[in-house]
Amino acid sequence: MNTNNNKLVKLINAGFRQNNKWLVEGVSLEVEKGKIVTLIGPNGSGKSTTAKIALGIYKNIEGSVEKYTNKVGYVPQKISIDWTLPLRVNDFMVLTENIKDDAINEALSLTGVIHLKNKNLGNLSGGEFQRVLLARAISKKPELLVLDEPVQGVDYTGEIALYELIKKISDTLNCGILLISHDLHTVMSATDHVVCLNGHVCCSGSPSDVARNNEYKTLFGEQASQILSVYEHKHDHEHSHEGVIKKN
């Protein structure tokens, strides 16, 4: 009877306003099982806000969110752990769900931090902590993974390995992934659907569409800015410095 079997979360014209300022508005997107949807856009364009709307963290939103699963794994962009909490990696892994030790070990091994299992969370480096965050999110075997810049601070080789891991997880667990990333290489190679945000949805589509339209070769060029500029020429409007939209 359920025709939405593959749907995990759907945003319909969703937006969020704080202190009378729109952080993001008019976002419609859909994450399905086994698919990776990537949000790209400049700083302050509402990527994290969109993720939080999808997760139900923001309550008073415009538009609507339809969530079809409760098995969610989340890697937030910013997280600070208080020193008043004596918390080891192992304690952190079971924070929101009791997970078997095997699954904990497996997830920590996959992200390459099994040796840190009994370390205090406060003593980890930024990159190590990021790997733990990702391990925690995938160890729950979620149906929906929301990854907000999941490899920030991770060393370059680790970055590639972790993105491969994310791609693999989406296949093996058949889970849907909402990914926020600055790495356009990854976006273009592993993603099923790209949404470009700048306070609203500037453009969206499959990466191959985007690539075909925008000189695929250049997309994988060395400079990300170059890639972005090629990608952005598809826009039908411009932004003033205040973010006001000017139709071309």
Partner 1 sequence: MFDDFFIRALVAGIGVAIVTGPLGCFVVWRRLSYFGDTLSHSALLGVTLAYSFDLNIALSVFIISSLIALILIQLQKKTNLPGDALLGLLAHSSLAVGLVVIGFLTFIRFDIMGLLFGDILAVTINDILMIWIGGALILGVLKLIWKPLFASTVNYELAEAEGLNPDKAKAIFTILMAAIIAISIKMVGLLLITGLLIIPAAMARNISDSPQKMVLFSIIGGLLSVIIGLFSSLEFNTSSGPSIIAASLFLFILSLLKIKQSVQLKN
Is 174 an interacting residue with respect to partner 1 (CB under 8 A)? no
Q: Contact region for partner 1 (CB under 8 A) — 11-19, 71-79, 190-198, 228-236?
A: 71-79
One residue of 2, 19, 43, 84 binding partner 1 per CB under 8 A: 84
> What is the distance between the alpha carbons of residues 152 and 45, in angstroms, rounded to a whole number?
18
H helices of 56-155, in order, are 89-93, 101-110, 126-139
Residue in the block written with tokens 């273009």: 188
Measured from the CB atom, the residue of 82 and 102 that comes closer to partner 1 is 82
> What is the distance between the alpha carbons of residues 183 and 75, in angstroms, rounded to a whole number?
17
Measured from the CB atom, the residue of 85 and 224 that comes closer to partner 1 is 85
Is 86 an interacting residue with respect to partner 1 (CB under 8 A)? yes
Residue in the block written with tokens 């695929």: 216
> What is the distance between the alpha carbons of residues 50 and 200, in angstroms, rounded to a whole number?
10
**What count of other Cβ atoms lies within 10 Å of the Cβ of residue 248?**
6
Measured from the CB atom, the residue of 71 and 239 that comes closer to partner 1 is 71
Which residues 117-156 are close enough to bind partner 1 by CB under 8 A?
Answer: 120, 140, 146
Measured from the CB atom, the residue of 89 and 187 that comes closer to partner 1 is 89
> What is the distance between the alpha carbons of residues 52 and 59, in angstroms, rounded to a whole number?
9
Amino acid at 194: V
H helices of the chain, in order, are 47-55, 89-93, 101-110, 126-139, 156-172, 184-190, 207-213, 216-219, 224-232
Q: Are 164 and 184 in contact (CB under 8 A)?
A: no
One residue of 56, 109, 115, 126 binding partner 1 per CB under 8 A: 56
One residue of 30, 62, 97, 106 binding partner 1 per CB under 8 A: 97
Measured from the CB atom, the residue of 82 and 242 that comes closer to partner 1 is 82
Measured from the CB atom, the residue of 55 and 104 that comes closer to partner 1 is 55
What is the binding site for partner 1 (CB under 8 A)?
Answer: 52, 55-57, 70, 72-74, 76, 79, 81-82, 84-88, 90-92, 95-97, 120, 140, 146
